[in-house]
Homo-oligomer: A and B are copies of this chain.
Amino acid sequence: MTSAAFTIPLWADLLSIGIGSLQGAMFAAGFRDRRLDLLGVAIIGIATGFGGGILRDVLLSQVPAALQTNWHLIVATGAALLGMLLERIFHRLRHLITVLDALTLGLFGAIGTTKALSLGLPVVPAIFLGAISAVGGSILRDLLLNLPIALMHVSSLYAVAAIAGATSLVGLVALGAPIATAATVCVALTVVIRVLAVLFSWTLPEQRALAWR
């Protein structure tokens, strides 16, 4: 199944990366007991904002899109420093940021899935790459901070929302829907699942609850 990649305007791409980077820096700045310096915060911001796209492009054997303009690194670094300096203010906006982050999750998932399809990958790896694009930044952030990977533990359907969105996109494209429609449904479904999961504390079952004994 080969189809066109879904692309978004540069400003929307930069805004998404900025939101990811801002969140990563706020997260890093929350650790009062670690002596992260300015550069450490910038690295966490860049890794959170870029990580998903970089993992996606490395797995697709391409030079990462984020390294092909000057803007991506400038926006990610700027947003990270802003997130660190104004952590208090942004903390008050955390509900808005959760919604924006869910939107970013959906957008990155749609971009990753359609990029994989457009390069001729089968549907299951395309969904996998969409999910990696969406959540890779959060995995890299936790690895670099030497923390347990948040999304592998009981939490509010972060990766599940991305996988559901990517799956809906692949299904709609298989049924012949235009790429823009499929991508829009992917983003909407991701946002709805993620936001409802946060609101109602939906989680996946813990593994030990399921093991047969």
Which A residues fall within an 8 A CB radius of B? 28-29, 32, 34-41, 43-44, 54, 58-64, 66-70, 72-74, 84-89, 119, 121-125, 128-129, 139, 143-149, 151-155, 159-160, 203-208, 210-213
Contact = CB atoms under 8 A, between A and B. Distances in A.
A154 B37 contact: yes
A121 B68 contact: yes
Contact of A88 (B34, B58, B72, B212): B212
A69 B6 CA distance: 22
A143 B144 CA distance: 7
Contacts of A86: 211-212
Contact of A153 (B35, B58, B70): B35
A14 to B, nearest CB: 13
A40 B211 contact: no
Given A60-B63, A67-B59, A73 B38 contact: no
Given A54-B59, A159-B39, A160-B39, A207 B84 contact: yes
Contacts of A208: 29, 32
A41 to B, nearest CB: 5
B124 A44 contact: no
A153 B180 CA distance: 43
A43 B84 contact: no
A85 B210 contact: yes
A90 B123 CA distance: 31
Contacts of A72: 125
B128 A211 contact: no
Contact of A59 (B64, B143, B203): B64
Contact of A63 (B28, B59, B160): B59
Contacts of A148: 34, 145-146
